[in-house]
Structure 1
Amino acid sequence: MALLYATLLTLWFLLCIGVQSQYKNKDKCIYQGDEDTYTFYQGGDVVLGGLFPLHFSPISLVSSFRIKPNSTKYKFFTPRALRWMQTMIFAVREINQRQDLLPNLSLGYHIRDSGDDIPVSVKRSLLLVNGQPERGSGQSCEDTQKQPSPVIVGEASSGISMAVLRSLSSFKIPLVSYFASCSCLSNKREFPAFMRTMPSDLFQIKALVKLVHYFQWTWVGVIGVDTDYARFAIQLFLKESEKFNICPAYVHLYPVALTQDAAEELVKILKYSSATVIISFTVDSYLHGILKECRRQNVTHLQWIASEAWATSKALWEDFGDLLKGTLGFAIRRADIPHLGSYLRRVNVSVAQTSHFLSEFWEETFSCRMNGSLNTHVHGEGVQNWPPCNGSESLDDVYTPYSDVSQLRVSYNVYKAVYLIAHALNDMSTCVPGKGPFQNGTCGSLNQILPWQLLYYMKRTHFTTLGEDVRFDDNGDPIASYDLMNWQKGSDGSLQLVRVGFYDASLEDDKDLLIDEPVIMWHRGEKAPESLCSQSCLPGSRKARQKGKPVCCFDCIPCAEGEISNQTDSNDCLTCSKETWPNQAQDQCISKTLEFLSFQEPLGIILWAFSAFGACAALAVLGVFIMYRKTPVIRGNNMELSFLLLLFLCTCFLIGLTFIGKPTDWLCRTRYPAFGISFTLCISCILAKTVVVLMAFRATLPGSNVMKWFGPAKQRSSVILCTFVQGLICIIWLTTKPPVAAYNTKFMSATITVECAVGSEIGFWCVLGYIGLLASLCFLLAFLARKLPDNFNEAKFITFSMLIFFAVWITFIPVYVSSRGKYMVAVHVFAILASAFGLLLCIFAPKCYIVLLKPERNDKKHMMKK
């Protein structure tokens, strides 16, 4: 118990001493943690903070928690990022030398390496905004060695910028990024203190989609490193590409710490995909492993499209120039910063020894070791094996991205970021008390810069630098402008970044992208490669989507009859109007040709010839009958009705001609009544002849005087009466709904049928029906009289003629109804000619045979012989 009491008393005493010591030093700032002296620092009235990824790919160490962990080591050192750091220093010094900008205020800088790592970046951003006393100095918090920064220029990565902002935004400390392009950072609700001189990915994606659409690539591969930048960019690309029917063949995110298995998996996707164009959202350092695996698997056919993060990076060309030749990508705006090149090349051995960053750069560039080197870059053979630097090394003798000022793009963004802050401070310094933007008209404090006041001025600042009018929208984003760069191989094998177009978001939608296509050097061949899931459907066909596949995968289906497509890759075919019809290629509608039975075509000529021949034959028979009118055969078979019948048959043959030629209203109104009346006259004459035959045999009976009712006058009257009924039907038809010429377009045909519409169907069929009625009556009577005892009984010939008449017209009806266009008219004419020839041959051919060939039988004795 005594031992326990003594122990508790000792602990209480030590605690009291600690509290007393802390109370005595309550006004002192004591740095907790490792001292971080790797910086570029210069004091001033306002010290601007800077975060740049000088190193990247930290080597993970497994801590035992028994000893203090060693400082972080990195795989790669970036001379390009060192140029960005030096550009910030150059801009600060340039502003301090100006008399028209901040004449009474000096700027300083405090620049740190972010290590391209979130924990390191957050830690060092807090060091920037809090300042850092020297270890053990015990200085007051107001008198630290390095002043706190009210604003930070950084970071390059979108993901790291988001992490830093989540730490600093609560204090409204502005972060001005020079390379973070993720559109997610434009969310002012989540990141209210963020601004950038780098355009948002939203504009880059629109430019990329329009580039892909311009070259008609509808089937593209999309890959990216698994970071916020790539994820948001790919999401935007997929959404925007839907507007132009662009489909991703695959979308693949690979890890930042790329393993061999992950690289092999991705390259297999690239190798076996039908897409030949690939869009990569990454930075050059993360693409190295992918390209190395592409070479190992011999995947050399791809046309690469670079995001702005690596569109102008030359770091990959030396090892993978054969794979990346012809690469296209949008790069941010380029500028020539006067005197920057000479400033960068001022570094020599003595200057390099003044800074850890410059010392490491010097060693990396010349592969030599300086005295007291603290190089944290890991090499395969080790830094210790490098020979000492002899002092004769010069940047003029080597190429390094650090001193390359031919493509100042990100460096220019850094330059603009510094000038943005300077102009905002200048606006604060010129504020008139009482007219300021803050409460009660107060101005921003210059003695102790408040970050939220500086942020207010920064958001409203616009200025001109190096000829560019720099403005920002409500989200703190600059107006987007990109150069379209093409990777071409120079005569000496070096990379030539050739500007082959541009994209300017401030221009109209159809003019914002301009491409000088002849200047482009492609990866393979002289023409742009094809990257399609399906070949384009030519005009005259339409697309039919393949089931279960994206919209870019389709089959080409020819347009149906009567339809066209006049564009490539049409989704639907268009129906031609009633007056037009597709051409043979089915890519345009042309005027239909008029179709009718004409005198010039073979069918019309044949029918015309038969009509003329039939009329001439009827007239020839009539001439024979007139010449031999006094012979018993002619006189014994009702000569007057025979003459009339021959004239009417001649008319029937000629009526067929009215059906040939282009129909008109008057021709249509003449055609059908003439047809009906002429055949009615013929059948009426035949009917009268049949009745006379029957009555003639009745008259031979004793006491019969029936023939007095069927004399020549009565016969003519019966013909007129029967024809009168048909004429009455035609008159009613013509006065109610007469036939008219019509242009028939309801049938899918390349022609417009000019035809005679019957008008009243009832009228048309009444005319045919009446002729059929007379023919039926005639056939019945002739059939009854066919066996009457006579050496030359005309009734049996009339019976045969009526059978032919019925056969023709019964066959005519279904054929007529099923026919279309001029063939319907031809069927009608054929029926007229066939029935007329049947009557002529059956009734008059036997008589002509007797008269002309058997004159010995043409006498009264032979006629009276039974």
Structure 2
Amino acid sequence: MYQHILALAFARKEINEHLKILPNITLGFHILNSYYIARMTYKAILSLLSTHQRFVPNFLCDNQETIVAVIGGLVTEVSAIMTIIANPYKIPQLTYGSFSPPHGDKTLFPCLYQMVPDEVHQYVGCVQLFQYFGWTWVGLLAADDDYGDMFLQTVVPLFTQNGICYAFILQTPKRTYIEEYTGLILKLLENYHVLLERKANVCFVHGEPPSWHNLRMLLFIVPFYNLPLLAKVWIVTSQWDFESLSIQKLWDIQNFHGAISFTIHSKQPPGFQKFIHTIKPSWAKGDNFFQNFWEQAFNCPFKPSKMKEDKKEWCTGEEKLESLPSTLFEMNMMGHSYNVYNGVYAVVHALHAAYLSRSNYKRLTERENVGFHNIKPWQLHHFLRRISFNNSAGDTVSFDQNGYFIAGFDITNWVAFPNNSFVRVNVGRLEPHALPGKMLTINDDKIVWPRHFNEMLPLSVCNDHCYPGHSKRKKEREKFCCYDCIPCPKGMISNQKDMATCIKCPNGQYPNKNKNQCIPLVLTYLSYEEPLGIISIILVFSFSLITIFVLRTFWKHRDTPIVKANNKSLTYILLISLLLCFLCCLLFIGKPKKITCHLQHTAFSVAFSVALSSLLAKTITVVLAFMATKPGSRMQKWMQKRLVNSIVLFGSLIQASVCIIWLSTFPPFPDVDMHSLDGIIILKCNEGSDFMFYCALGYLGFLALVCFTVAFLARKLPDNFNEAKFITFSMLVFFSVWLSFVPTYHSTKGKHMVAVEIFSILSSGAGLLGSIFPPKLYIIIMRPELNSKEILLRKERFFGTSFEMPIMVPPATRKQLDVSPLIPLLFGGMEMVVDRYAGSL
């Protein structure tokens, strides 16, 4: 506090030695002590409005000069009282401490000029500081008075708006008399457990006095009650001044090691250090504060002049100020002292400008003598509002439209030493008038953190951070800063800490395994180059070549009895339709296109329906031929080629009609599937209409069921070359394949789904091909001697086995049945039967 007086004296000394400012004028000052007590403050300010040494406010009984301006005070309460008294007189008041009126707007005090920027800027800067270090769970400390209440009412909503919660609010005793103060401190001790909140490692303190002294008092008495010591990072506003009371000068300050404060920007005016070293007992002649400061700082009294020598250690006046701890005296001009220095210069420059003003000069010369003693206080406001100059340290001094000093704040890290000294380390800057996002600059490499945190950045959060890949979920009945961390759902990511919700990846990207980054999707489809596609192509061409080989063999031996006996026209149709079925598999391989999507299922459905219709025609023909063996039977009229053609044509046209309706209403189309497999975009053919897809597939099942039923009923016919059993077996293969196809199709994803379709088509086609044609090929190729009408009409060794051809007919009809025409019927051929009966007509 004494440094403030020295800054005032130093400014006065510089101005009086300056030849261009207030020439031929000796500047003086008068200091009054408010003692931080309201009634003493009122008395002090009223004494300035009274006659010298006579406390009669508002009356001038002698030639006392008029007050031009007042500089003070340090705390809001003192400044407010001074403003209330001085405002009616329009006396300019320059307060060098923060001013936060609890009962109204500052604009209600037009004569007040504040040498500190608006205090709200510090609150905003503090919020940005918390956000920078990730502190969201902090404690709040303020004095239990109107100014502390106003601080809390301002800060708590600001914290909430910026995602910060207060863990606790602790109000320290207000300034009062010593007998009351002791009881309030003991009451505060009862609430000490609040400060022990383990997760809140950071406390934001409203620096308005007496916060510093209260906190020091609390931490001093805690060990006497065997309570645990605090380990906090103290964040304080600019009003906090690390000076000690006389009773506190030996108290440890290690609890405040690593504290961070917003401090008033200051520089060192040239000559101030030299000026401080001139402070000696000789200085005391004009300084009533010197002796009190010196005796308390060096813990020694000055020896009265009339007292004889004794053993008591007296102050010599040769003590060194630089030997004092920083909590008692700092050699550099600090923030509040710098404001006093600038405040003196602001008043002087305003006086000088008023003196030099032409309009003021003219008015004064017309009515009064020109002189500084004739300048009224209200005349300075015009010049103070517009004042702008550079002080000796190079800083610009000016005020904004609201009377706030235009400047920023330094961010200071306090490093304490065992000898109760400390150093201020400038670690950042707060510029209230900077662009958004650039107000706060921090050099965190310079910050020294409290030793309890191993000098590492402490955490001050309600719970651990939610790291990328997780999002926050609020806990019930707790503040929003307390939350659980849950993994991001499928298809979503979080790429920052403590994200409220997970986000979806852009189109064409998908979450990685940790769900903290989006990576490009991989396109996939069953291509010709990959192994699965190559295997499918090999199988398609293998079965196709086998089918061509069978077709060529049957065509080459088309005039042989066994080919004729198997209805060669139906055989050709069956083989060609199976060949087309195999080749349809190629439509499923490669990148899906519109034409291939249209043909994939429709072409296969029609081709396979032709194959099944041919088998149905073969089976019905055998049954009808057996029923038409009796000469003159009416079944003979059904034994015509038009019946066969009608069955094949009618069975195929129904499937073709279904496919035409499908293509004209909801045709298949190329589609992408980005959700079935993580990280993969599946290029596929969308069926368009699932109903039509299953209609086409269901119709194939219906044809197979009818064919199976007819073949099953004909299974007891004579089995020498009877195809009914082979067709029954082929239909069982068909049902096995396609019944397993449906669940397998829906349980697979991507290109494997297409592979399942290809496998089903190939398996069902191969089942038909392998169940019906191998016995006939064996006779045609391997045993051509068996391929004659004579051999077929008698008992023969077949496939290396001797067998009889039993004729299973009822006893009632056995006498009427002619066996000779039945023999060729059992071969399964319609043409031989037709030829035989045509010759007998």
TM-score (norm 2): 0.80
Q: Secondary structure at the match of 2:166?
A: strand
1:204 correspondence with 2:122: yes
Q: Using the TM superposition, give the Cα deviation of residue 412 of structure 1 relative to its aligned residue in structure 2, in angstroms.
A: 1.5
Q: Which residue of 1 aligns with 2:391?
A: 465
1:211 & 1:710 partners in 2: Cα distance? Answer: 99
Q: 1:164 to 1:629 in 2, by over 3 A?
A: same
Q: Secondary structure at the match of 2:450?
A: coil
Structure 1 letter corresponding to 2:98: A
Conserved in 2, the CA contact under 8 Å of 1:312 and 1:497? no
Q: Which residue of 2 aligns with 1:15?
A: none
Q: 1:730 to 1:394 in 2, by over 3 A?
A: closer
1:666-705, CA deviations, whole angstroms, 9 ceiling, x for partnerless residues?
3233333431232122123212212321332233212248
Report the more deviating stretch, 718-727 or 569-578.
718-727
Q: Using the TM superposition, give the Cα deviation of residue 463 of structure 1 relative to its aligned residue in structure 2, in angstroms.
A: 2.6
Q: Using the TM superposition, give the Cα deviation of residue 265 of structure 1 relative to its aligned residue in structure 2, in angstroms.
A: 3.4
Conserved in 2, the CA contact under 8 Å of 1:444 and 1:453? no
Structure 2 letter corresponding to 1:840: L
Structure 2 letter corresponding to 1:241: F
Q: Using the TM superposition, give the Cα deviation of residue 477 of structure 1 relative to its aligned residue in structure 2, in angstroms.
A: 1.0
1:403 & 1:101 partners in 2: Cα distance? Answer: 31
Q: 1:181 to 1:200 in 2, by over 3 A?
A: farther
Q: Which residue of 1 aligns with 2:33?
A: 113
Q: Secondary structure at the match of 1:453?
A: helix
Coordinate RMSD, CA, aligned? 4.1
2:631 & 2:201 partners in 1: Cα distance? Answer: 112
Q: Which residue of 2 aligns with 1:99?
A: 19
Correspondence for 1:163 among 81, 104, 108 = 81
Q: Using the TM superposition, give the Cα deviation of residue 521 of structure 1 relative to its aligned residue in structure 2, in angstroms.
A: 1.8
Conserved in 1, the CA contact under 8 Å of 2:148 and 2:206? yes
1:290 correspondence with 2:218: yes
Q: Which residue of 2 aligns with 1:74?
A: none
Q: Secondary structure at the match of 2:682?
A: strand
Q: Which residue of 1 aligns with 2:46?
A: 126
1:732 & 1:151 partners in 2: Cα distance? Answer: 99
Q: How does 1:415-454 map to 2 (within 5 A)?
A: 415-433=341-359, 446-454=372-380
Q: Which residue of 2 aligns with 1:11?
A: none
Conserved in 1, the CA contact under 8 Å of 2:98 and 2:114? yes
Conserved in 2, the CA contact under 8 Å of 1:224 and 1:280? yes
1:519-552, CA deviations, whole angstroms, 9 ceiling, x for partnerless residues?
2222133432221112222222211121222222
Q: Which residue of 2 aligns with 1:660?
A: 589
Conserved in 1, the CA contact under 8 Å of 2:466 and 2:499? yes
1:521 correspondence with 2:463: no
Correspondence for 1:479 among 406, 426, 429 = 406
Structure 2 letter corresponding to 1:291: L
Q: Using the TM superposition, give the Cα deviation of residue 185 of structure 1 relative to its aligned residue in structure 2, in angstroms.
A: 9.2
Correspondence for 2:607 among 658, 662, 678 = 678
Conserved in 2, the CA contact under 8 Å of 1:312 and 1:407? no
Q: 1:436 to 1:324 in 2, by over 3 A?
A: farther
Q: Secondary structure at the match of 1:555?
A: strand
Conserved in 1, the CA contact under 8 Å of 2:51 and 2:62? no
1:149-203, CA deviations, whole angstroms, 9 ceiling, x for partnerless residues?
3432111111122123223323333322112343659934432322221233122
Instruction: Count matched residues.
Output: 772
1:833 correspondence with 2:762: yes
Q: 1:684 to 1:363 in 2, by over 3 A?
A: closer
2:39 & 2:277 partners in 1: Cα distance? Answer: 33
Q: Using the TM superposition, give the Cα deviation of residue 312 of structure 1 relative to its aligned residue in structure 2, in angstroms.
A: 5.4
Structure 1 letter corresponding to 2:30: H
Q: Using the TM superposition, give the Cα deviation of residue 115 of structure 1 relative to its aligned residue in structure 2, in angstroms.
A: 0.9
2:413 & 2:332 partners in 1: Cα distance? Answer: 15
Conserved in 2, the CA contact under 8 Å of 1:597 and 1:662? yes
Conserved in 2, the CA contact under 8 Å of 1:648 and 1:682? yes
Q: How does 1:356-371 map to 2 (within 5 A)?
A: 356-370=288-302
Q: Using the TM superposition, give the Cα deviation of residue 810 of structure 1 relative to its aligned residue in structure 2, in angstroms.
A: 5.4
2:491 & 2:231 partners in 1: Cα distance? Answer: 43
Correspondence for 2:2 among 70, 82, 96 = 82
1:543 & 1:829 partners in 2: Cα distance? Answer: 47
Correspondence for 2:198 among 273, 282, 287 = 273
Structure 2 letter corresponding to 1:309: Q
Q: Which residue of 1 aligns with 2:437?
A: 510
Q: Which residue of 2 aligns with 1:76?
A: none
1:216 correspondence with 2:134: yes
Identity %: 33
Conserved in 2, the CA contact under 8 Å of 1:433 and 1:443? no
Correspondence for 1:346 among 272, 278, 281 = 278
Q: Secondary structure at the match of 2:358?
A: coil
Q: 1:714 to 1:102 in 2, by over 3 A?
A: same
Structure 2 letter corresponding to 1:503: L
Report the more deviating stretch, 95-104 or 778-787.
778-787
Structure 2 letter corresponding to 1:689: K
Q: 1:84 to 1:838 in 2, by over 3 A?
A: same
Structure 2 letter corresponding to 1:698: M
Correspondence for 1:860 among 788, 793, 802 = 793
Q: Using the TM superposition, give the Cα deviation of residue 434 of structure 1 relative to its aligned residue in structure 2, in angstroms.
A: 7.3
Q: Which residue of 1 aligns with 2:480?
A: 551
2:751 & 2:273 partners in 1: Cα distance? Answer: 88
Q: Secondary structure at the match of 1:536?
A: coil
2:101 & 2:553 partners in 1: Cα distance? Answer: 106
Q: Using the TM superposition, give the Cα deviation of residue 853 of structure 1 relative to its aligned residue in structure 2, in angstroms.
A: 9.8
2:114 & 2:159 partners in 1: Cα distance? Answer: 26
Structure 2 letter corresponding to 1:94: E
1:585-635, CA deviations, whole angstroms, 9 ceiling, x for partnerless residues?
222333322333445667656655655565465566667767987876655
Q: Secondary structure at the match of 1:233?
A: helix
1:671 & 1:640 partners in 2: Cα distance? Answer: 27
1:4-35, CA deviations, whole angstroms, 9 ceiling, x for partnerless residues?
xxxxxxxxxxxxxxxxxxxxxxxxxxxxxxxx
2:768 & 2:673 partners in 1: Cα distance? Answer: 34
Conserved in 1, the CA contact under 8 Å of 2:256 and 2:416? no
Report the more deviating stretch, 334-343 or 201-210.
334-343
Q: 1:771 to 1:131 in 2, by over 3 A?
A: same
Q: Secondary structure at the match of 1:829?
A: helix
1:677 & 1:441 partners in 2: Cα distance? Answer: 119
TM-score (norm 1): 0.78
Correspondence for 2:261 among 321, 324, 329 = 329
Q: Using the TM superposition, give the Cα deviation of residue 471 of structure 1 relative to its aligned residue in structure 2, in angstroms.
A: 0.8
1:397 & 1:638 partners in 2: Cα distance? Answer: 124
Conserved in 2, the CA contact under 8 Å of 1:179 and 1:410? yes
1:352-401, CA deviations, whole angstroms, 9 ceiling, x for partnerless residues?
3665432323333444444669xxxxxxxxxx999374756444685377
Q: Which residue of 2 aligns with 1:583?
A: 512
Structure 1 letter corresponding to 2:278: R
Conserved in 1, the CA contact under 8 Å of 2:295 and 2:315? no
Q: Using the TM superposition, give the Cα deviation of residue 289 of structure 1 relative to its aligned residue in structure 2, in angstroms.
A: 0.6
Q: Secondary structure at the match of 1:703?
A: coil
Q: Secondary structure at the match of 1:108?
A: coil
1:611 & 1:442 partners in 2: Cα distance? Answer: 119
Report the more deviating stretch, 483-492 or 571-580.
483-492
1:848 & 1:385 partners in 2: Cα distance? Answer: 141
Q: Which residue of 2 aligns with 1:754?
A: 683
Q: Secondary structure at the match of 1:556?
A: strand
1:39-80, CA deviations, whole angstroms, 9 ceiling, x for partnerless residues?
xxxxxxxxxxxxxxxxxxxxxxxxxxxxxxxxxxxxxxxxxx
1:299 correspondence with 2:229: yes
Correspondence for 2:462 among 533, 548, 552 = 533
1:784 & 1:350 partners in 2: Cα distance? Answer: 136
Q: Using the TM superposition, give the Cα deviation of residue 241 of structure 1 relative to its aligned residue in structure 2, in angstroms.
A: 2.9
Q: Which residue of 2 aligns with 1:310?
A: 240
Conserved in 2, the CA contact under 8 Å of 1:131 and 1:147? no
Q: Secondary structure at the match of 2:267?
A: coil
